[in-house]
Structure 1
Amino acid sequence: MSQLPALILAAGRGERMRPLTDHTPKPLLHVQGKPLIEWHLEALARDGVTQVVINTAYLEEQFEPTLGDGARWGLRIHYSHEGHDHGGALETAGGMAKALPLLGDAFWVLAGDVFVPGFRFDPQAARDFAAQTDWGRMWLVPNPAHVPTGDFALNAEGRILRKDHAPSGTPAYTYSTIGLYRPAMVDHLTVGQKAALRPSLERAIDAGRLSGTLYTGPWVDVGTPERLAELNRRPTSQG
């Protein structure tokens, strides 16, 4: 099996990043000398991914002129235009559902607005996931200051649990916005339906079909102008 395709989520408005995002989509803001999304494209190409889908809505006309067809990274980029087709962003699960025809039976998903320079899109992890029956595998990170209690619990067997249903003492972590998924995660949604990801993840948890891995490398949710400025004060490629 060749490396799985990837969906980069890049459709959002980036309200908390205003005024920087008034004229530039958040994934195209520069981090350490290049658009944030280029860090992802370089990492995906390095790890053997060749097919990438980018979903767009806000200022979506800027993406293709900036990134092209992906040839400069050895990638083939396809675009899923939510703004043109549906009048606006469909949120994470809705964006995944719309992009399914371009993604196949299993695929990577990652947000275009996180900086995670050391993450490896491990081909073995992709092969292992493709051979299993889980609907998803999420990478979690230690809780940053802005998510002090985490998003989900992760037990010793590598299963994701709802925090409020987990046994006492089960650690909770924050979703990195990187995961491996199957169409089953979102195929209950109608194409064009606006839908957040969390209800679909909780549906998978309740079905016993969601696993997780803790990632402890550098990771930054580039969600405010202050975090972006801090990244740009650091030496290149440090998180």
Structure 2
Amino acid sequence: MSPPIPAMILAAGRGERMRPLTDDCPKPLLQVQGKALIDWHVEALARGGVHELVVNTAWLGEQISSHLDLLRTTGGHEQLSFSYSHEGEDFGYALETAGGIARALPLLGDVFWLLAADVFVPGFEFSAEAADRFIAGDKLAHLWLVPNPPHNPRGDFGLGAGGLALNLAAADAAPRHTYSTIGLYRRELFGSLPFGNSPGLAVALAPLLRAAMDRRQVSAELYLGAWTDVGTPERLAELNQHFPN
């Protein structure tokens, strides 16, 4: 079994659709069932043996780093190591997903977990076996897809034979699934961007993934456990009223 790989948690978003809740509180720190959203991820990663965590921030980023540093020292997570990519401090704005990852690459290894802080997926396992399979293969990314929620009925990507992720044409009637934001990635996927992104380029992730899918370099699988994109106050309220089974 390979040594544990690091993980990056994307936490730089402004959370515009969550306002006014996010006017004074960054979205990753909103509470679900008595815990900050990001804490659910930290605990799941720790259970999976992932000890090196990189977090990017922009909006109210100092609250996120202060919260996680306190969680590490008082929450029984002394084995964890947090590193931060403070895009707000460095550039005054968030670098979007791929831009933020490229900025953080010097803090990550050749292979790493990636997930967004604003999804709630309490049962997901960041298993060493999944990481080992990915490391042993030749794909640039492996994505976990979920059934399409009401707010994304058309989905994002197809799932083909042999577990290939598919960049389907708009007119293609084949089923699509929604990207959960959870995946395994190789540094090589971001080779078109400056390593460390010193220019502060704001670049989306989806075009890089779609181009790699066209080259048959992305795999995927379907995750059927509870998953919520906590994108509106209504979804947050529903999670706090009814814990998903």
TM-score, normalising length: structure 1? 0.95
Cα deviation for residue 156 of structure 1 reads 2.5
Percent identity (aligned): 57
Alignment of 1:139-158 (within 5 A): 139-158=144-163
1:124 matched to which residue of 2? Answer: 129
Assess if the C-alpha contact under 8 Å between 1:154 and 1:170 holds in 2: no
Kindly report structure 1 stretches of 4+ aligned residues shifted beyond 4 Å.
none
Q: Which residue matches 1:177?
A: 181
Amino acid at match of 1:14: G
Please list, as runs of the form range in 1=range in 2, the aligned pairs for 1:15-164 lying within 5 A after superposition. 15-68=16-69, 70-71=72-73, 72-73=76-77, 74-164=79-169
Equivalent residues, number: 236
Match of 2:191? 187
Secondary structure in structure 2 of the residue aligned to 1:20: coil
Aligned equivalents of 1:115, 1:165: Cα separation in 2: 28
Question: Within 1, Cα distance between the matches of 2:66 and 2:188?
Answer: 33
1:47, 1:120 within 8 Å by CA — same for their partners in 2? Answer: yes
Instruction: Provide the C-alpha distance between the structure 2 equivalents of 1:187 and 1:56, rounded to a whole number of angstroms.
Output: 22
Change (3 A) 1:3 1:165: farther
Distance 2:214 2:158 in 1: 13
Q: Following the alignment from structure 1 to structure 2, what is the Cα–Cα distance between the partners of residues 233 and 82?
A: 34
Structure 2: 5+ residue stretches without partners: none
Distance 1:155 1:110, change over 3 A: same
Q: Separation in 1 of the partners of 2:28 and 2:64? A: 9
Q: CA deviation at 1:36?
A: 0.5
Q: Within 2, Cα distance between the matches of 1:6 and 1:103? A: 8
In structure 2, what is the equivalent of residue 232 of structure 1? 240
Alignment equivalent of 2:225, drawn from 217, 228, 232:
217
| Per-residue Cα deviation, 1:49-98 (whole angstroms, up to 9, x for no partner) | 01000000111111122110735323111111111112210011001101
- Distance in 2 between residues matched to 1:68 and 1:208, nearest whole Å: 40
Q: CA deviation at 1:171?
A: 2.4
Structure 1 stretches lacking a partner, 5+ long: none
**TM-score (ref. length: structure 2):** 0.93
Structure 1: how far apart are the matches of 2:81 and 2:5?
Answer: 13
Which deviates further from its counterpart, 12-21 or 74-83? 74-83
RMSD (Å), alpha carbons: 1.5
- Write the letter of the residue equivalent to 2:100: G
